[in-house]
Amino acid sequence: MYDLQKVEEIVFMEIKNVSGMRKAIIKKTTPLIGNESIIDSMKLVELCLSLEDIAEDLGFEFDWTSEKAMSTSRSMFKDAGSLAKEFLRQWKEN
């Protein structure tokens, strides 16, 4: 049930949807913050809100706004792979 590869597929697809680049190749190392990011800060928020909805469908709350989440924000939002790992971690905890 808790499959990192499946979660990566979900997160990477949402990155494509939010960015409007549906044909883009999203990898674990695709940056989500910084100059090389394929999305801006508003799109990053949109992505997190979309992941909240997906998490709700999966029966848990994806928390990207708490103090705990923000204390690791550099690693969580560093790249697509880090965000997928955090999503999976929170899913497993709930």
pLDDT in tens, 67-89: 766 665 567 898 999 999 999 99
**Per-residue pLDDT at 31 exceeds 80:** yes
pLDDT band at 1 (very low <50, low <70, confident <90, very high): confident
Q: What is the model's pTM?
A: 0.90
Q: Would you put residue 33 in left (φ > 0), alpha (ψ -120 to 50) or beta?
A: beta
Widest Cα–Cα separation across the chain: 35
**Per-residue pLDDT at 9 exceeds 90:** yes
Average pLDDT of 34-48?
94
pLDDT of residue 72: 58
